[in-house]
Amino acid sequence: MAIDLGNYLTENFTRSEQLSRSENTVPEENLSREEHFSHLAKKHPCFSGEAHMKFGRMHLPVSPACNIQCNFCVRSLNQTEERPGVTQKILSPDEAVDTVEKALSLCPEITVVGIAGPGDTLASSASLDTFSKVHGRFPEMILCLSTNGLRLEENVERMVDVGVQTISVTVNAVDPDILSQLVGWVAWHGKSYSGQEGAEILIQAQLRGIRKAAASGLLVKCNAVLVPSINDDHIEEIAKAVSEAGAASLNIIPLIPQGKLSHIPAPSCAELNRARLTAERYLPVFRHCKHCRADACGIPGKNIELSALLYSQQVENTFSHG
């Protein structure tokens, strides 16, 4: 049976915590860590199945560059494809703040402002500069950051400072031999690494970053792209490793066959369900992912998508392949 993260966290308070609190009487700043996480998850449509149907989220496309090359990733500027790595344009931090204001007028149910590309959010300072401005104007918003985790550890303090509360870290393998089949290169401290060497650098950076983020009070979800014949028998090891590092949930995403992995078919529903059931032995699994664009906006569970109304101006060719 699927486990909803918000309900899971609520149900796993200690009995003494539950008995000592009256419902709806405790100020948010006085909530326990578990209660705070439950509160966030229940308002975050990408962390909770319940919230997925009730609340909105928007992604600000402010991060053009990336510091790794996944073999299934093809980033693009267009108005038609419904997948990660795609946006109509790249926003500046100031443009992003104005876009949030416009989005809230279109969809007052938005509770989450996220940044999920089209490149990696921590490959440049653009994302955290944007979050600083958004948090100053809209302090009630949950700020969420998605990253490959390569530079997560070094950025945790500033993430907390600018108001980030939830993060998603994509971890596609914790075995360098497997990950080297999924990642072409890793840019690390001014050098490019490939093969198992690059994979090992990325894995260790991801796990260090997850541990530090969780210890710093961030609610961490991990994503894993399920790639048949490469990591489909490795999901249990991923789930175990990220859970031990401090992740609160896992989102297993089916491969979109493209790029260098265009020859590999997407996993079947049975393969995807089997992977999710395996991972659920270790932590809750989010099952409602929509493969959102980097400029998505709306209530995902109701298929309300408003990005076309936000970006009606002519598309600008400002994309960088980093």
Cβ contacts of residue 289 below 8 Å, gap of 6+?
A: 46, 223, 251, 253
Please give the average per-residue pLDDT across 251-255, as a whole number. Answer: 94
Residue 314 lies in a domain: no
The residues with which 58 forms a beta bridge, in sequence order, are 113, 297
Question: Residue 279 belongs to what domain range?
Answer: 5-308
Residues 182, 240: contact at Cβ < 8 Å? no
Residue 136 lies in a domain: yes
Distance CA 57, CA 64 (A): 20
Q: How many domains does the chain have?
A: 1
User: Tell me, what's the pLDDT at 273?
Assistant: 95
Banded pLDDT at 227 (limits 50, 70, 90): very high
CA angle 124, 196, 293 (to 5 degrees): 40
Residue 25 has pLDDT above 60, yes or no: no
Residues 248, 220: contact at Cβ < 8 Å? yes
Residue 253 has pLDDT above 90, yes or no: yes
Residues 132, 162: contact at Cβ < 8 Å? yes
Question: How far apart, in Å, are the Cα atoms of 320 and each of 64, 76, 162, 193?
Answer: 5, 10, 25, 20
Residues 81, 293: contact at Cβ < 8 Å? yes
Residue 313 lies in a domain: no
Residue, of 17 and 9, whose pLDDT is higher: 9
pTM: 0.84
Distance CA 280, CA 284 (A): 5
The residues with which 143 forms a beta bridge, in sequence order, are 113, 164
pLDDT in tens, 87-122: 778 999 999 999 999 999 988 989 999 998 888 999
Residue 321 lies in a domain: no
User: Tell me, what's the pLDDT at 19?
Assistant: 32
Distance CA 250, CA 224 (A): 7
CATH number, residue 279: 3.20.20.70
Distance CA 32, CA 45 (A): 22
Distance CA 59, CA 310 (A): 11
Residue among 280, 300, 286 at smallest CA distance from 251: 286
Distance CA 172, CA 182 (A): 8
Residue 315 lies in a domain: no
The residues with which 304 forms a beta bridge, in sequence order, are 299
Per-state percent for the chain, helix, strand, coil, to nearest 5:
40, 20, 45
Residue 31 lies in a domain: yes
Residue 144 lies in a domain: yes
Residue 316 lies in a domain: no
